[in-house]
Amino acid sequence: MTTAATPPTEPQGHGTAVLQRTRDEQHLTRLVVAYYVLAGLTLLFGCGGLLYMGFGVGMIFLSDDLLAADPNAPPPGVIQLIGGVLAAVGVVIALLQFVSTVLLAMTARFISMRQYRTFCLVTAGLTCLSVPLGTALGVYTFVILTRPDIIERFGGRTQTAIGR
C-alpha cells in the first residue's frame, strides 16, 4: 500500500516574498499588455463608426442621383434624413470608441508606471461594459489592483481609515 505524495511546501521566508513580488510583476505586466491589446481592438472597431458616417454622408449627397431613376422613390428629403441619422450615429460610435481607446491606453501606461491606481480602477469599471473581453479584463484588474502588495506598489495605504 502506497501513500499519496504530498506536494512540497514552500518555506515562509524571504523566498516566498520574492516569489510573490515576481508574480505580482507578472500580473501587472499582463494587465498592461491586455489593456494595450484591447485599446487596439477598440480603435479598430471605432473605424466601423466612420464607415457608418461615410454611408450616411453618401446617402445625403448621392440620394438625388439614386432617386432620379426610380419611379417608386420615397418623397424628397426622406433619404437625406436617414443619411443624416446614419452619419450622426456613426460619429457618436466613432467618438465613443476613440475616447475609450484613449482611456485604455492611458490605463495601460499608468499601470506600467505604477501611478493613478484610482483612475485605473475607474477605467476597469467602464471596461466591464465591453462584453465579453472588457468584462474579463475589468474583473481581472479589480482582483489584481485591490491586493495589498499592489496597493503599496502604487504608493497607497494598505489599510483604509474610516472617519479620517
Per-residue pLDDT of the chain (164 residues; tens, 9 = 90+): 566 666 555 555 567 878 888 898 999 999 999 999 999 999 999 999 999 999 999 988 887 776 777 777 777 788 889 999 999 999 999 999 999 999 999 999 999 999 999 999 999 999 999 889 999 999 999 999 999 889 988 887 655 544 54
pTM of this prediction? Answer: 0.78
Only one residue has cell 518555506, namely: 11
Q: State yes or no: cis peptide before 132, omega within 30 of 0.
A: yes
Residue 89 C-alpha cell reads as: 450615429
Look at phi and psi of residue 161 and say left if phi exceeds 0, alpha if psi is from -120 to 50, else beta: beta
DSSP calls for 29-83: HHHHHHHHHHHHHHHHHHHHHHHHHHHHHHHHHHHHHHHHT-TTPPPTTHHHHHH
Q: CA–CA distance from 1 to each of 4, 5, 26, 119 (Å)? A: 10, 13, 42, 58
Domain segments of the chain: what residues? Answer: 19-66+75-153
